[in-house]
Amino acid sequence: MFSALVVGWFDQHGRKDLPWQKNTTPYRVWVSEIMLQQTQVATVIPYYQRFMKTFPSLKKLAHADIDQVLHLWTGLGYYARARNLHKTAVLIDTQFRGRFPTTVTELIDLPGIGQSTAGAIVSLSKGDWAPILDGNVKRVLARVHCIEGWYGHRKTADQLWALSHCYTPKMRTAAFNQAMMDLGATVCTRGKPNCTQCPLSAVCLAHQTQQETQFPQPKPKKTIPIKSVSMLVLRNSQQELLLEQRPPMGIWGGLWSFPEFKDHSALQAYCQQSPILKQNKVKLLAKLRHTFSHYHLEIEAWYLDTVKKPNKIMEDRQLTWYNPKQPSTLGLPSPIQKLIKKTTEEI
């Protein structure tokens, strides 16, 4: 009954023309599911198109340079997704002889693939039975059954998984899963759910009691801290900018950024002790605030012209000259990309 309502709605109103809904190979579905983690469809589409054009097959991705993968991920965020995608491609290419695993059990052992992503890959690409539980499905199910609590809590998540497990039909699993996500994204939205268009309104407990927006219960809110950093924008006579590769772990892992100091005086001290930098004074290029999910970052960017490349700034960090006119294929954090643009326009 439940699934018939959902699948019936899908046949009439579901989305069937998204880029990853054509030629639904496990590889293509996998890439789309990773990009779609915590990221909306409209944001993903251009990234997905570029990615598939560059890496049309798992083999191509496995043989690619990680810098090129991160380059195509620039601006999309959660860069561990890109690193895991590449790592997994290499793993499948070498350990699985290029055969993409097609069971949930095998898939969840791979880096970056959890229960829901594994279920999506299996159902959407093979049509096999597997439940999913992404943000959309959580919202729909939490409303239909008035599930209390935030789904970051184990108990709440377990209840929702149990519901997804029960409702997911053996037949037309792919249509059902896709429909549940579409429903959450287009009808059962967070702020103003469009219950008149919903195939589940007759069986939805939240709707019957007019408590649609009471569910799901929001994440307990916390005030996030403010951190600050000073960045050194060094430019050589060919208008190239000095970038430093960030360590693999932590924020912006593996991406290229300007050399960082804890504040302006630490940056100043570095320049003073450097024979090739000490004659000139740094000038303020920009102050900007960048917000992550877990903290605000106040960035001061100071620029300086130099004739020579400093041999090192931080221990074990690669340095490279970046030419904005002929950009290299490497990953850049979003605010760094903005700062680079600013240098080409203003200095």
Partner DNA sequence: AAAGCGTGGTG
Partner DNA sequence: TCACCAAGCTT
Catalytic residues, by residue number, are 33
d(Cα 30, Cα 100) in Å, to the nearest integer? 10
Helix (H, G, I), strand (E, B) or coil at 109: coil
Q: Is 14 in the site for DNA (CB under 7 A)?
A: no
CB of 116 to DNA, least distance (A): 4
Q: Is 170 in the site for DNA (CB under 7 A)?
A: no
* Sole window of 153-161, 207-215, 265-273, 280-288 interacting with DNA (rule: CB under 7 A): 153-161
Contact flags string 111-150 toward DNA, x per CB under 7 A: xxxxxxxx---------------xxx--x-----------
CB of 217 to DNA, least distance (A): 9
Query: Of 267, 288, 286, 287, nearest to 278 (Cα)?
Result: 267
**For residue 333, cis peptide bond before it (omega within 30 degrees of 0):** no
Q: Is 75 in the site for DNA (CB under 7 A)?
A: yes
d(Cα 126, Cα 308) in Å, to the nearest integer? 56
d(Cα 189, Cα 276) in Å, to the nearest integer? 57
Contact flags string 38-57 toward DNA, x per CB under 7 A: xxxx-x--------------
Structure tokens at 81: 């997704």
Q: Is 310 in the site for DNA (CB under 7 A)?
A: no
Q: Is 32 in the site for DNA (CB under 7 A)?
A: yes
Q: Is 24 in the site for DNA (CB under 7 A)?
A: no
Q: Is 219 in the site for DNA (CB under 7 A)?
A: yes
Residue indicated by tokens 């159902």: 123
Query: Of 61, 79, 62, nearest to 70 (Cα)?
Result: 79
Q: What is the DSSP string of 240-262?
A: -EEEEEPPSSSTTTT-EE--EES
Q: Is 181 in the site for DNA (CB under 7 A)?
A: yes
* Residues 103 and 129 sit within 8 Å (Cβ to Cβ): no
Pick from 18, 66, 91, 146 the residue near DNA by CB under 7 A. Answer: 18
CB of 236 to DNA, least distance (A): 25
Residue 269: which region, alpha, beta or left (left: phi > 0; alpha: psi -120 to 50)?
alpha
The residues that touch DNA, with contacts defined as CB under 7 A, are: 15, 18, 32-33, 36-41, 43, 75-80, 84, 108, 110-118, 134-136, 139, 152-155, 181-182, 184-185, 190-191, 218-219, 221-222, 249-253, 289-294, 333-335
